[in-house]
Amino acid sequence: MSNLQPVRGTHDLLPEDRRRHRHVEDVAMATSGLYGFEEMATPIFEFTDVFARTLGDTSDIVTKEMYTFETKGGDKITLRPEGTAGVARAFISNGMAQHAPIKVFYNGPMFRHERPQKGRQRQFHQFGVELIGVEGPQADIEVIALAHQILGGLGLADQVKLEINSLGDVESRSAFRTVLVDYFKSYESELSEDSRDRLGKNPLRILDSKNEGDRKIIAGAPDFAEHLNDASKLFIDTVQTGLTDLHIPFERNPNLVRGMDYYCHTAFEFITTELGAQGAVLAGGRYDGLIGQMGGPSTPGVGWAAGIERLAMLSDVSPTRNRPISVIPVSADLGSKAQTLVQDLRNAGLFIEFSFTGNMKKRLKRADKSNARAAVILGEDELKDGNVVLRDLDSGEQKVILLSDVAQTLKSNYG
């Protein structure tokens, strides 16, 4: 073993880090439950086609960021770079259309071969929701309301800002695309190299270029909102009205577009300025064409995904470990007696740490380190009369109680 570093872009989550992630997940899951979403899980890898066909030939994710390999059986496999494609595939594979609409959430690791940065790892974790089978804008409002409530539950309401935009339906988008290409063509020589490249592949993406020269040209570009057809216009207006009615603040950002091809109508992002270049903490949109395009029954859908790492970094909350009660035998030959007591107390539903080694001083010190609330001390002198010492570690007060009363006393004092 020559290298004990973890693979680039991967990290160990030690208990403290994991606790922070877990808190984010707990809030997200509990809140999703209130909205009637249920957890599901799909495999961490899929056939490469599942992602390659759905994310779009021009997306960076497909063209350069996927972990793809061939199995011994010759199958082309990819570690999932995002969650929606897998859920859509599962929707089709399991004939879930008959149960539509379905409301699910997922939670787990995703993989993208990008250059690591703060808030951007190669293995990272996403929590996401999908609402599949509802055509109307109420579904969009519902998933955004859920996102808003989760972020609020994490205490991040003031640190993030919601931006939304409409990508229109297929008709609107292709019409706008023509208009947009015409416009940018007339400035082609002044565009950045990246944007010139996008002109042929995905001209909408030019709109969110950060290049300064591009920005000037974009400022004069045609506005998608003015090129939406009536149906698309009504759709996004309804979403906006709904958000306003629910007192969810948002801003329309005409330059908000999506990296993945399957989005239409509503696109939204909750963004922050506190994570440097990694501004998006939760983002999603509507993907009516996706399931049909994968070969399933034409089914609309809307959803989003949130980066657990980014949310955890943003959140000030550092949840503390539960506080145990320590059981300490004074001498080694009381070990088995102590072990029995420990077992009884755990069976009674109490969080007990058994102090294995060391002298009294050491064991109490360790109990203190573990943030124990109390220590039950077993000593020969007290045991002769069937007693033990119960010491409260916050106050330092201790009293002698009957061994047979320990469980009940602990439950009433610390349960």
When the beta carbons of 295 and 396 are compared against RNA, the nearer one is 396
When the beta carbons of 97 and 253 are compared against RNA, the nearer one is 253
Which of the stretches 92-100, 131-139, 143-151, 384-392 binds RNA when contact is defined by CB under 7 A? 384-392
State the nearest-atom distance from the C-beta of 236 to RNA, in Å.
19
State the nearest-atom distance from the C-beta of 111 to RNA, in Å.
9
321 scored as a contact of RNA (CB under 7 A): no
77 scored as a contact of RNA (CB under 7 A): no
Binding mask 47-76 for RNA (x = CB under 7 A): ------------xxx---x-----------
State the nearest-atom distance from the C-beta of 258 to RNA, in Å.
7
State the nearest-atom distance from the C-beta of 343 to RNA, in Å.
21
Pairing verdict, β 325-329 and 352-354? parallel
Task: Give me 291's structure tokens.
Answer: 């399931």
Residue in 74, 220, 295, 396 binding RNA, rule: CB under 7 A:
396
Handedness of CA 76, 259, 144, 291 (dihedral sign): negative
State the nearest-atom distance from the C-beta of 58 to RNA, in Å.
9
Residues 156-185 that bind RNA (CB under 7 A): none
Task: Give me 46's structure tokens.
Answer: 């899929």
When the beta carbons of 8 and 321 are compared against RNA, the nearer one is 8
When the beta carbons of 97 and 383 are compared against RNA, the nearer one is 383
State the nearest-atom distance from the C-beta of 399 to RNA, in Å.
10
CB atoms within 10 A of CB 209: 18
Within a 13 Å sphere around the CA of 168, how many CA atoms are in the beta-carbon half?
A: 18
Strand order across the 123-132 sheet: 38-39, 102-111, 123-132, 301-307, 280-286, 264-271, 161-166, 251-252
Residue in 101, 108, 116, 292 binding RNA, rule: CB under 7 A:
116
State the nearest-atom distance from the C-beta of 293 to RNA, in Å.
17
Residue in 131, 306, 345, 401 binding RNA, rule: CB under 7 A:
306
State the nearest-atom distance from the C-beta of 240 to RNA, in Å.
20
Given the structure tokens 């609107």, which residue do they identify? 172
Residue in 381, 399, 402, 404 binding RNA, rule: CB under 7 A:
381
Instruction: Count how many residues are written for the chain.
Output: 415
Residue in 203, 279, 301, 324 binding RNA, rule: CB under 7 A:
279
Residues 331-370 that bind RNA (CB under 7 A): 331, 358-362, 364-365, 367-369
Sequence-distant (6+) residues with CB within 8 A of 366 are: 326, 355, 358
82 scored as a contact of RNA (CB under 7 A): yes
Residue in 167, 262, 310, 350 binding RNA, rule: CB under 7 A:
310
Sequence-distant (6+) residues with CB within 8 A of 117 are: 276, 277, 278
State the nearest-atom distance from the C-beta of 95 to RNA, in Å.
27
394 scored as a contact of RNA (CB under 7 A): yes
315 scored as a contact of RNA (CB under 7 A): no
When the beta carbons of 242 and 259 are compared against RNA, the nearer one is 259
CB atoms within 10 A of CB 95: 10
When the beta carbons of 219 and 277 are compared against RNA, the nearer one is 277
Query: Rounded to an integer, what distance in angstroms lies between the CA atom of residue 225 and that of residue 17?
Result: 43
Query: Rounded to an integer, what distance in angstroms lies between the CA atom of residue 289 and that of residue 170?
Result: 9
Residue in 114, 135, 344, 405 binding RNA, rule: CB under 7 A:
114
137-153 and 230-245 helices, crossing angle to 10°: 30
Residue in 117, 318, 336, 340 binding RNA, rule: CB under 7 A:
117
Binding site for RNA (CB under 7 A): 5, 7-9, 59-61, 65, 82, 112, 114-121, 124, 126, 194, 198, 205, 208-211, 258-260, 269, 276-284, 305-307, 309-310, 330-331, 358-362, 364-365, 367-369, 377, 379-382, 389, 391-396, 398
